Chain A
């Protein structure tokens, strides 16, 4: 049996050109991640270490010394050290929450797509409920009723954005099930786990990752907002929002206390957004 003439050659892989803005974003994120991972090593002082002779010192360039590169606060605590620790805690919370949301959301989406029927209706109702309520108010309510443990807080943040992942995974799983490779593999006799984990999930992973980069910065903003209000991360632990909240008191006398974490928040969310946009343009332009 001869092969047909006109064999299609394998298409060449495209060379990716990464724009400058995205490079900067990636660079910043690498720095932030490094700081978060190496916080204990990099930090010059402990976060509660007080240097009472050096209270409210301004940062370098505004009259300060290298001993406290970003200045100190009212209690003589080094702003740089607190900033480093805050970065770590905020990132930990944001990563933990994003992963929880992604896993939970994707599982719910798959359950809805696989079982259809009333299971699907339940999941859809929950998705609608979540999507139609401003998360901040829901979070505030839960915090009011349940108080303030860190574990609870991370789980609460983990409920942010799960509906996005659920919608995506349900839609893509249904599309795959109806026609196409998932139906074909099921026809081969595969069990559902094999279909979802071995075929559907790898195929939709890129879309899910893009969705995660959309919700990551939003979680950071949410957590810092709540911490700013004093309802999130509690002292003695410090987070970026926490620092801004604390620095608010000293906005007239020592604005750097509030500015340093604010700048970090903005640059980090900006970088993840830029990265996410670029990834989306490359991988899945249909996602909004």
Chain B
């Protein structure tokens, strides 16, 4: 049984287009099914606006899915704000993109790391102090830094502090939403290594959301590529990076700068990034797809297993195109 499973989850927002427009339903997430196994990492990758952050929030239960279900440790995710949902927070946590915004600038880092323990009533004062000290060691933060305020730390130190706070209650799942995007590249590497070390040491499962393929490749055991709210390819990271099947994955992977001659020719996408309020018919990618055919504009492809066990949503890969 998976630790976390999303089954056919959609998240639809009602917005108005312009001042005089009719209400329009925006499908931020469209029939997404995925599973995170205990102690393993699922990476979600895609461009801005593809729905990956929303997926993360639905996975955590911060937002309710409009369709489909979310199961955590076998039980249905309770509605946000209810006491059961609050209790469950000890088991799954979120690591933020902006660590400065996620912390209260008035309180010291140590106080904030101890706060989950206070909220869930874990341990007494001295036990909490010990726990905070242990957490600081685990994330590599010096004890004297913890007595400072968030704005007095560097970006990397802040992210470690946020991580320490997330780990305080010993959760089973961490959802990381662009955790290293705001950091310098050298610091990114350190934080990523720390995450993988922590996963090995504590057996934490992770849902790692990022637009940066290189980072996702490093930490994930499984990768899902999202486009406009749908998963278009899912499978082993190395396989996807070595030989992307979906045209969009191909474009993404080809854009990764590599020294020396390229293995995959650079694919440049034409057209504008998509507008979720104005979805193209059929396959959402077809207006920009370099190899689209007629059927792509008519039917939406579903995720089907490809040759090596990967899941791909593309008519061409399915071999349907031949009959168009």
Establish whether residues A189 and B89, one from each chain, have CB atoms under 8 Å apart when the complex forms. Answer: yes
A18 to chain B, nearest CB (A): 23
Q: B196 CB to closest chain A CB, in angstroms?
A: 12
With A11-B152, A187-B62 already in contact, the answer to whether A3 and B106 are too (CB < 8 A) is no
CB-CB under 8 A for A191 and B106, given A6-B154, A8-B152, A179-B101: no
Q: Does A41 lie at the interface of the complex (its beta carbon under 8 Å from any beta carbon of B)?
A: no
Q: Is A190 in contact with chain B by the CB < 8 A criterion? A: yes
Asked, given contacts A4-B190, A179-B98, A199-B104, whether A185 binds B115 with beta carbons under 8 Å apart, the answer is yes
Taking a contact as CB atoms under 8 Å apart, the answer to whether A180 and B102 are in contact is yes
**A144 within 8 Å of B (CB atoms):** no
Is A10's beta carbon under 8 Å from chain B? yes
Task: List residues of chain A with CB within 8 A of the CB of B87.
Answer: 189
Cα distance A1–B96 in the bound complex, in angstroms? 21
- In the A-B complex, the 8 residue pairs with the smallest Cβ-Cβ separation, listed nearest first, are A189-B89, A1-B140, A184-B102, A181-B104, A189-B86, A180-B101, A10-B152, A8-B154
Contact A184 B86, beta carbon cutoff 8 Å? no
Which of A1-53 touch B at CB < 8 Å? 1-4, 6-8, 10-11
Q: Which residues of B contact A (CB under 8 A)?
A: 60, 62, 86-90, 93-94, 96, 98, 101-106, 115-116, 119-120, 139-142, 145, 148, 152-154, 156-157, 165, 187, 190, 194, 197
CB distance from B188 to the nearest CB of A (A): 12
Q: Which residues of A contact B96 (CB under 8 A)?
A: 184
Tell me, yes or no, whether A194 is within 8 Å of chain B by CB. Answer: yes
Please name all residues of chain A whose beta carbon is closer than 8 Å to the beta carbon of B153 when the two chains form the complex: 8
Query: Nearest-CB distance from A92 to chain B (Å)?
Result: 32
The answer to whether the Cβ of A203 comes within 8 Å of any Cβ in the partner chain is yes
Q: How far is the CA of A188 from the CA of B168 in the complex (A)?
A: 10
Whether the Cβ atoms of B89 and A187 lie closer than 8 Å is: yes
A147 lies within 8 A of chain B by Cβ: no
A184 to B150, CA, bound (A): 14
What are 26 inter-chain pairs, A to B, with CB distance below 8 A? A1-B139, A1-B140, A1-B197, A3-B140, A8-B152, A10-B148, A10-B152, A180-B101, A181-B102, A181-B104, A181-B105, A183-B102, A184-B94, A184-B102, A184-B103, A185-B104, A187-B89, A187-B94, A188-B116, A188-B119, A188-B165, A189-B90, A190-B115, A194-B119, A203-B104, A203-B105
A3:B142 contact, CB within 8 angstroms: yes
**Interface assignment of A202: CB less than 8 Å from any CB of chain B:** yes
Which residue of the partner chain B has the closest CB to A7?
B154
Q: Contact string, A116-155, partner B, CB cutoff 8 A, digits 1/0?
A: 0000000000000000000000000000000000000000
Count of chain A residues near B, Cβ 8 A: 24
Known: A187-B62, A203-B106. Is A181-B101 also a contact (CB below 8 A)?
yes
Neighbouring B residues of A10 by C-beta, 8 Å: 148, 152
Alpha-carbon distance A4/B60, docked complex (angstroms): 31
Task: Check A202–B106 contact: CB distance below 8 A.
Answer: yes
B80: shortest Cβ distance to chain A, in Å?
9
Chain B neighbourhood of A11, CB < 8 A: 152
If A188-B89, A203-B104 are given as contacts, then 13 extra A-B residue pairs at C-beta distance below 8 Å, sorted by A number, are A4-B154, A4-B157, A7-B154, A8-B152, A10-B152, A11-B152, A179-B98, A184-B103, A187-B60, A188-B93, A188-B115, A189-B89, A191-B86
A142 to B211, CA, bound (A): 61
CA distance A183 to B187 in the complex (A): 26
- In the bound assembly, the distance between CA atoms of A4 and B96 in angstroms comes to 20
Q: Would you give the shortest CB distance from A35 to chain B, in whole angstroms?
A: 35
- CB neighbours of A180 from chain B (8 A): 101-102
Complex Cα distance, B89 from A179, in Å, reads 18
Q: Is the CB of B86 within 8 A of A190?
A: yes
Q: Which of B119, B139, B157, B187 makes the CB contact (< 8 A) with A189?
A: B119
Q: How far is the CA of A199 from the CA of B157 in the complex (A)?
A: 22
- Report Cα–Cα, A189/B88, bound state, in Å: 8
Q: How far is the CA of A11 from the CA of B197 in the complex (A)?
A: 33
Give the chain B neighbours of A183 by CB distance below 8 A.
102
User: Are B93 and A187 closer than 8 Å at their CB atoms?
Assistant: yes
Cβ-closest chain A residue relative to B87: A189
Cα A189 to Cα B119 in complex, Å, equals 7
Cα separation A202 to B104 with both chains bound (whole Å): 10
